[in-house]
A and B are shown apart, each in its own frame.
Chain A
Amino acid sequence: MRMNGAQMLCQSLVNEGVEVVFGYPGGAILPLYDVLPQYPQLRHILVRHEQGAAHAADGYARATGKAGICFATSGPGACNLVTGIASAHLDSSPVIAITAQVARHFIGKDAFQEIDITGITVPITKHNYLLTRAEDIANVLKEAFHIATTGRPGPVLIDIPRDVFTDEAAFAYPARVNLAGYCPTVQGHPLQIKKAARLINEAKRPAIIAGRGVIVSEAYEELKELAEKAQVPVITTLLGISCFPENHVLSFNMLGMHGMAYANLAVDAADLIIAIGMRFDDRATARVSGFAPHAQIIHIDIDPAEIGKNLKVSVPIVGDVKNVLRSLNKQIESRTHIDWIQQIEQWRHEHPSTAIRETEELLPQYVIRKIHEVTAGRAIIVTGVGQNQMWSAQHYWYDKPNSLISSGGLGTMGFELPAAIGAKVGLPDDCVWCIAGDGGFQMTVQELATAIQDDIAVKIAILNNGYLGMVRQWQELFYDRRYVATPLSGPDFIKLAEAYGLPALRVRSKAEVIPAIQKAMDHQGPFLIDFVVEPEENVYPMVVPGAAITEIIEAPGEKVEFGSKPRNISNL
C-alpha cells in the first residue's frame, strides 16, 4: 500500500499498539499533524511546553511499561524535549520522541528552525535516527520500539525531515527486527547463578538491594520468593521503591543519602549483598569506597556495562531480573536468619527513621502520611525533586507494585505534573497523586491547562514551604544558613488554579488535611491542594555527600507522634 511518510508513521504507531501521543505542533511537523485525524486510534494530547510532552510520555511509560510517545516540531520544539529525554534516559524509561526536521535540502544550511537534534541527543538516548527516506519509516519505527522497550529500556529519538513526511512510498510493516549490533542477554549464565545460589545458601547476614530493574522486569513474585525462601531482608533504592511491598515483614525500605538508618546499617553489616536491577548510584551507596565492607556482592543486571562500573562485585549475572531470579530461586534452599533480622529490627527500633515529631504546625511528612491513609496506599505517587520527593519516598508506604514515579537519576524539577498527567492517562482507573514542591511545580505549571483541556484527573498536593527546600537545607547545614536564592515567593496557587479552571483548597492546619484530601478524591476532575507547611523542616536521616553510608545524621530527638512503619516479625 502506498502512503505518505506522515501516514506511514501514524500507521506504524497504530501497529505498535500506541493509543496516545503527547505533543506540540509547529511548521516542520505540520504534515504529520495534518494526517492525525485519519488515525482516531491515536489520541493526541496537546501539552503547553514540549518538556511536558517528554515528561508525560515518560510518566506514561513508567506507569504502563509500554513505550510513551511524544511529538515536537523542529528547532525549538525538539530542543525543549531535551530535559525530558535526559530524565527518561537516566531512569531507563522507554520514551519514543518523534521530531520534525527541516526539509532534506535545507539540512546543514542553518535553515530556519534547523537544529541537529540527533547530535544533541546522542548522549541522552539509547539510540536515535535521522530518517532520510520515507521507505525506511516502517523499519526504523519497528527498530525504535524494539530498542526502547527491550533490554535495559531507554529513550529513542527519530528525527524526520518535513519532506520525508510528504514523500510517498510503499508501506509494509515488518514482523521482526534485524539488528546485528543489539541483542540483550536475558538469561543469566548458569555457572554464575550456581555460584550465586551457593553464596546465598551459605550467607549468615544476607541483604537484597533491589532497584527499578525489578519493576521493569515485573519480577515482583520472583523477588518475593527469593526473599521469603532464603529469608533475606529487602532494601530498595529510590527507584526500586514499590518493587517489594513495604508492609512485608522483610521490607526494610530505602537506603542511601536519605535512606532509613536501619537500611544503611544493614547494608554495612551484611555478609552478602544481592543487588538486583540497580546500579550502585552514589545517592544509594554514599561513599562507595568501604561500601558493604564485610559483604560479597552478587550483582544482577541486564546491562553488562553496569557491572563493575562503580564497584567490584564477586558474582556478576547479566540477564533479565525475572529470568535470573527464576533460575536462582530453584537453587536456593530454605533458610532462616532470625537473629540477623532481629538485629535490623533492633536498629529500626533504635533509629525510627520514619518517625514524625509531634507539632502544632503542619509538617510536610504529616501530609504525605495522611495521603497514604486516605488513599489506603492504593495511589500512584508522582513526585517532584527535593524535599517533597524524599518525604514522599519515606512517608508513603508503597505496598502496590510500581506505585512511585520519580525522577531519580537526573532529579528533574518540573517532572511531577506532566509525568503525573502521563501516568493518569496510562492508568485512568488509578488514583494518581502529584506531590510537588512549590519550586518544581512552577517549572511546568502550565500543564494544568493540559489536564483541564483533556480532562486528566490528577490530584495535586503542593508542599508549599516557601523555599527551594532541599537547597535551603544544604545551605542550612553546609553554608551556615546563608539562604541565597532559595526563598521563593510563589503565586497564590489557589487563584492560579482557579485561573486555569480547576478547583483548589489551601490547607494550613493538621485538622484540615484529611477533609481536603477526601474532597480532592471525591471530585471528578483534577484538583489542587496548597499545603502551607513548616518552612524550615529538614529531611532526615541524611548522609552528607562524601560520607560513608553509616555516618547518618538523624532528626533531632523530639517527642514522636507516629512511630516507624509498623511490622510484625513474630510470625517469621
Chain B
Amino acid sequence: MPSPIALTTPPRQESIFKKRSPSYLTAMRSAQSYLIALSEADARARSRDSASTMSTPALSLSSTATTLSEEDVVNDAPCDNSDGLAFPTTPPTSEQFSSANHLQFGFCANENYRYKSAHKAGTQLKELHEQDPPYYILLTTYLGYLFLICIGHIRDFFGKRFHPKFYGHLLPFDGYAPLNSDFDSFYTRRFKTRIDDCFAAPVTGVPGRTIALLDRDSDDYNNSFFLTGTTTRGLNISSYNYLGFASAQGGCADAVEESLRRYGASSCGALLEGGSSEVQMTAEALVASFVGQEDALISSMGFATNSTIIPALVSKGCLVISDELNHASIRFGVRLSGTNIRMFKHNNMKSLESLLREVISQGQPKTHRPWKKILLIVEGLYSMEGTLLNLPGIMELKKKYKFSLFIDEAHSIGALGPNGRGVVDYFGVNPREIDILMGTFTKSFGAAGGYIAGSKTLIDRLRLRGHGGAYAESMTPPVLTQIMASMASIMGVSPSTSSALELAQHHPGPAHPCQLPAWIDLPPSLRDGSEGRMRLRRIAFNARYLSRGLAKLGFITYGHTDSPIVPLLLYNTGKMCVFHRMMRARKTPIVVVVVAYPATPLVTSRVRFCVSASHTKDDIDTVLRACNEIGDVLDLKHLPGERWPLERIFNSAVELVNMEDE
C-alpha cells in the first residue's frame, strides 16, 4: 500500500473497491427530440383542462431517462462480497435474507448481542475525567499548528507576489471590500483545504449500515473536486442513523410511499397561513405521547426549531443559562432573543450551581432587579463529546432554584433509554417535570425536522409566537409519515382495547391505534413493537461494545459508555486525514467523520463514531480491528490501564458490555 499520507483518494487501479458507473449519468438527448417532447407536453397540458385536481403536465425528460426500476434497486446490491459488507460472516439460517437489506440494516440474530440502555437506579452518573495524553503529544500538536501557520504565511507571502490572481477575492477590488478577508480565511485556506478530501464527501443511496461514497479527485490541490464516476461502498459509522430507520425498504418506506401517493410531496405554506394539515396534527399528537408531554409542535427543520422557538420563550429581562458546548442552533436562537446569556462548564453541576447562586442573588445587571425567567438550556447527549446530560443532578437543582428547563434531545431521542424516549427515559425521570423537550427527527427517525413538546398552554403559545408558525414552511407529508411510522415502530401499537386516555397515563407505553392514520399499515413485527425493542437493544449493545473495546485497546475516548456517539481522540491534526484515508482504503472500507478546531478545542482533534442499531457485532469487530491496526501506525494508544488483545475483546464482547462501570 502506498503511504497513506500521500493519498488523497484511494488508488484507482486496486480492485478491492467495487465500481459501478451510476445510472443517472446517462441522460442525454438530441435537441430535436427535446423540442418535440416539449411542445407535445405543453399541448397536452393545455388540452387537459381543470377537470382533474391538478393541471400541471406530467412531463419530465429526466425522469424517463433516470427511472429506476425495482430491479435496479435490487441490483444495487453487489453480487460480490470482496469487501465483506454484503453478507454476514455467520450465514443466516432460518429467516429470509437479502443482501440488499443487509447493506442497509445488518442481519444479527444472536440474542446475546443486546443490552438495555438505562441508568442504574440509585447510582450516580459517572463523573467523566478526561484522560490527558502524554506531553509529547500535546507538544507536537501545538508544534504542528505552529508549523502550519508558518508554512501558511510563507505560502501567502510568495503566493501574493507570484500568483496574485489566486488572492484576488481576498483583497479590495475596484472599490469593493473583499467578501472574505485574508485573515478570516487563513484557517480555511491553509489548514482545512489541505485535508478537504476528508470533509463533505458526496454520497449516494441510503445512509444505512453501509454507504456509497462518490469517488472524487482534485487536480488543483483540493480547491475543487470532480467526480470520477465510480463509487466506493463502506461501512458507515458516521451517519446519525441511530435506530437504522434510514431505509429504502420495509414498513416505514412503504408507509411513506403510500403517503406520497395520497398527499404528494408538498405542504404548501406556513402552518398559520394555509399549510396546516390533518397529517401534521396526527403526527404532533403522536410525538407528544411518545415523549410523554401534553402537546407538541413540529417544525420543518431541527436547527430552526431552536432558532425560532427560543426567542419566543425568553426576551429582555430574562436569562438563559447555557452549557458551554451547546449546539450552534441554540446559540443562534439565544442571540436572536436578545436575552442575557451565561455559560457554565460542560455538564458540571458544581459550576452550574455556583452560577445559579450568583445570578439569582445578583439579579439583572446594573439594576439588580430579579430575573423574569431563567431558562436553562442543555442537550441530552452532546454530539461531539458523547457525554450524557447529568439529568438527576439538574432535576435536584431545578427543585431548589426554580429555573425552567429546556432539553435539546436531538441526539438522545430514540437513541437512549430502555424505551427509546431519550435521556429522560434513560434516567427514569417523569417527562412532565421538564418544561420543554426539544428534539429532531433527522437522527433516530431517519426523517427531517424537529419538535418542541411541553404543556398544552405553552405549546399553544409557541404555535402563535414562534417564528415558524407564521413565516416558515410546514413539514411535508412524506416526512411526517416517516416520523409517524418509525415512532410507532419504537412504541409499538397496542391492540385496540383500552381508550387513548388510559394509555396516556402509562407513559412509556404503546401507541393507541387511533393515534396513527388508518392508511399506515405497518407490518406485524413493527406494529407489535418487537422490532423496535430489538433495535433499541442492539444500539445499546453496540454503543457499549465499541467504547469498551476501544478502551481495552488503549485508545482515549470521551463520553459515557452508554452513548452511541464515541469520540476517539487523535490530537495531532495531521493524523486526522491519515486516519480517515487509511480507514477508507481498507479492504472493508470504513467511512468515518473526523473533526477538529473550530468544532472542538484546538488540541483535541478527534474521530467521531456514531454507532447504529443497524450495525452487527461483526461490524463493530471490523471497526475495532481497523482502529487497532491504524492506532499502532499512528501512535494513538495512550490510555493507561489494562490492555486486551483483539481476539479476547472479540470473544468476550458480551462480558465486556455487561461489565459494571468502575
Real binding pair: no
